[in-house]
Structure 1
Amino acid sequence: MYLRPGSLFHQFVVERKSLKTMDNGRAKAVFQPTFSVVRGVLSDAKTSEILRWKALQHPVTHTIVQHYGEPAAKEGDRLVHGGRYFYVCGVDNASMLGIFTIYYVEERSDRVE
């Protein structure tokens, strides 16, 4: 891994998805912020990763690598950094020792409230 400007550690706030019933009786997805923060490196997904997740019908655009600590987010959660929103499609505990966790995420500009 080579460090370039902009590829240093970033703080991502974890938001958990929950369903809320609206006045008309329909369910609506709402993201509630948790008190968890993921500190990791954001990078574009490799072509092989994009194709692998596309076969599973999960579009992936980026990967976030968290160094040390237990995974703070799970599938269905949303990671927020500044004005950017990343939806978690998959989590991989790469080392099985809690040293590295890879989040496969999709960046979307349309926000679900």
Structure 2
Amino acid sequence: MYLRPGSLFSQFIVERKCMKMDDNGRTKIVFQPTWAVIQGVLSNAKTSELVHWKAMSHPITHTIVQHYGEAMAKPGDRLVYNGRYFYVQGVDNASNLGIFIIYYVEERSDFIG
């Protein structure tokens, strides 16, 4: 097994999606930190995963695999890592035992919110 830089566990801060009213009375989306931290491995999504999620109108770019623990993020949340923003599209408890949690995320830089 060869480990490359960046292929080890990374820490992602979970931010929860909230609706706030601005000064004009319009609602806007704001992400507030929950101070929960996910330790996981970030990787590019496989082609089969890209096609599957695009067909459900939830495009993804990456997967984050968390080893042990329960899912701390849910669809609609945002994960922050080194100034990069990953929007959670889906969560899968792969083993149904809480051993591996897979977050299907879309990396976006155009909408900071």
TM-score of the superposition, structure 2-length normalised?
0.96
CA gap of 1:53–1:42, structure 2 versus 1, over 3 A, is same
Q: Which runs of 5 or more residues in structure 1 are unaligned?
A: none
Match of 1:109 in 2: 109
> What are the equivalent positions in structure 2 for 1:2-17 lying under 5 Å apart?
3-17=3-17
Match of 1:60 in 2: 60
In structure 1, how many angstroms separate the alpha carbons of the residues matched to 2:80 and 2:60?
A: 16
In structure 1, how many angstroms separate the alpha carbons of the residues matched to 2:78 and 2:65?
A: 15
In structure 2, how many angstroms separate the alpha carbons of the residues matched to 1:15 and 1:46?
A: 25
CA gap of 1:7–1:67, structure 2 versus 1, over 3 A, is same
Match of 2:39 in 1: 39
Q: Is the 8 A contact 1:30 1:112 kept in 2?
A: no
Q: Specify the code of the residue in structure 2 equivalent to 1:45.
A: A
Q: Specify the code of the residue in structure 1 equivalent to 2:86.
A: F
TM-score of the superposition, structure 1-length normalised?
0.96
Q: Specify the code of the residue in structure 2 equivalent to 1:79.
A: L
RMSD: 1.2
In structure 1, how many angstroms separate the alpha carbons of the residues matched to 2:67 and 2:104?
A: 15
Q: Which runs of 5 or more residues in structure 2 are unaligned?
A: none
Q: Specify the code of the residue in structure 1 equivalent to 2:56.
A: L
Aligned length: 113
Match of 1:21 in 2: 21
Q: CA deviation at 1:2?
A: 6.0
Identity across aligned pairs (percent)? Answer: 73
For the residue of structure 2 that corresponds to 1:35, the secondary structure is strand
Superposition misfits of 4+ residues, deviation over 3 angstroms: none
Q: Is the 8 A contact 1:29 1:112 kept in 2?
A: no
In structure 2, how many angstroms separate the alpha carbons of the residues matched to 1:24 and 1:78?
A: 26
